[in-house]
Amino acid sequence: MNYNKKSIEDIEVTGKRVLCRCDFNVPTKGGKITSDKRIVAAMPTIKYLVDNGAKVILCSHMGKPKGEWKPELSLKVVAARISELLGKEVIMAEDVAGEDAKAKAAALQNGDVMLLENTRYIKGETKNDPELSKALADLADVFVNDAFGTAHRAHSSTAGVADYLPAVCGYLVQKEVSIMGKALANPERPFVAILGGAKVADKLNVINNLLEKVDTLIIGGGMAYTFAAAKGYSVGNSLLDESKIDYCKEMMAKAEAKGVKLLLPIDCVIADSFPNPIDGPVDVETVDITAIPAGKEGLDIGEKTAAIFADAVKNAKTVVWNGPMGVFENPTLAKGTIAMAQALADSDATTIVGGGDSAAACEQLGFADQITHISTGGGASLEFLEGLELPGIACLQDK
């Protein structure tokens, strides 16, 4: 995939109607937004378009209405928040690409901003329906994709509209593509990747792809126990995907054949069972990975492992991290994840944290401002690491 894409600065936007796909899939409770982080992240692109006299038409999905008009998933709360941040009224369309949206889009003046209703109110959105793509495209002269979090989906509002309009990226997507693209295509070495999270199955292709690129691959989290089982160790009640044991053996052999250092836990923190509630009290002890007793469950990496992993990060020039080292939501089981976040924060390397849980961990633990780049997309950043083409990026014009 070509990572060198045209951005909003490479085209003329003054006087143009610009359809801008953002990621306004924000959490709400009782009709109030509980975190506006995604809205704030989109503001540089929106402000650039407004300041340069574009007629701005914003669109996004929220939640999973599955083609039904669910009032609790209306973007009206988002329009109100953008109005506050911009200091000017955002015009709210009553539909997605229907009569109201058409009339309001046609009446826009330079610098005006409007927001379409939840794109997933229309069944065709997730099916990349050409009729919906064309209807959205008819509202505008130019398409801007600034929603990296949905770039791995070929939907009407993320990719389909680019069949009918010149398409470029906004600042958020530009940053994701340039930083992550460079890290994967032409990394400064040593290049270290850290993978965690629960399931080997989720990261099969990521492991395979990264072994072609990295100097060191670190594996922690729940997925490490399937690797431990592949080495012949008993893992008690720890997470185990027996169907992937042979795959783990293949990956260990591949690492050896390629001269990639594959680091696996040597000790782990165990408990009788997964904590319930997840942040409740839990009695733990640390044992060697070779000595997990029957009936016990590994829930975090141990101190010796954390020190070895941190040491590998210390000497790196590029570090990519996706997935926590344990049940980080529980303070007792967060130490391994904190150690990794601290190692990245202390590093002089280019440090990239894939979205999802590892991004949440860095933010919750207060390390976010010491990381080079925290991705805004969980699924998209994973597919990026897999080396897959992302439809919402591939459809943009190359520089």
pLDDT in single tens digits along all 399 residues of the chain: 777 899 999 999 999 999 999 999 999 999 999 999 899 999 999 999 999 999 999 999 999 999 999 999 999 999 999 999 999 999 999 999 999 999 999 999 999 999 999 999 999 999 999 999 999 999 999 999 999 989 999 999 999 999 999 999 999 999 988 888 888 888 999 999 999 988 778 888 899 999 999 999 999 999 999 999 999 999 999 999 999 999 999 999 999 999 999 999 999 999 999 999 999 999 999 999 999 999 999 999 999 999 999 999 999 999 999 999 999 999 999 999 999 999 999 999 999 998 678 888 888 888 889 999 998 787 788 888 888 889 999 999 999
Burial of 32 from C-beta contacts in 10 A (0-12 / 13-18 / 19+): exposed
Q: Is residue 160 annotated as a catalytic residue, yes or no?
A: no
Tell whether domain 180-386 is in CATH 3.40.640.10: no
Determine contact, residues 137/111, Cβ cutoff 8 Å.
no
CATH dotted code for 8-171 = 3.40.50.1260
Cβ within 8 Å of residue 75, ≥6 positions away: 24, 60, 62, 92, 115, 116, 117, 118
Q: Which of 63, 111, 181, 379 is catalytic?
A: 379
Q: Which of 17, 38, 153, 296 is catalytic?
A: 38
Q: Is residue 81 annotated as a catalytic residue, yes or no?
A: no
pLDDT at 42: 96
Q: Which of 302, 326, 356, 378 is catalytic?
A: 356
Distance (Å, whole) CA 137 – CA 380: 24
Residue type, 298: G
Tokens of 225: 């126990």
Q: Which of 47, 199, 314, 317 is catalytic?
A: 199
Determine contact, residues 271/295, Cβ cutoff 8 Å.
no
Q: Is residue 15 annotated as a catalytic residue, yes or no?
A: no
Q: Is residue 127 annotated as a catalytic residue, yes or no?
A: no
pLDDT at 364: 81
For helices 171-185 and 37-51, give the axis angle rounded to 10 degrees: 110
pLDDT at 355: 67
Backbone angles phi, psi at 67, to 5 degrees: 80, 5
- Domain 8-171 matches domain 180-386 at the CATH topology level: yes
pTM for the model stands at 0.87
pLDDT at 195: 95
Cβ within 8 Å of residue 36, ≥6 positions away: 26, 81
Domain ranges of the chain: 8-171, 180-386
Tokens of 334: 């967060």
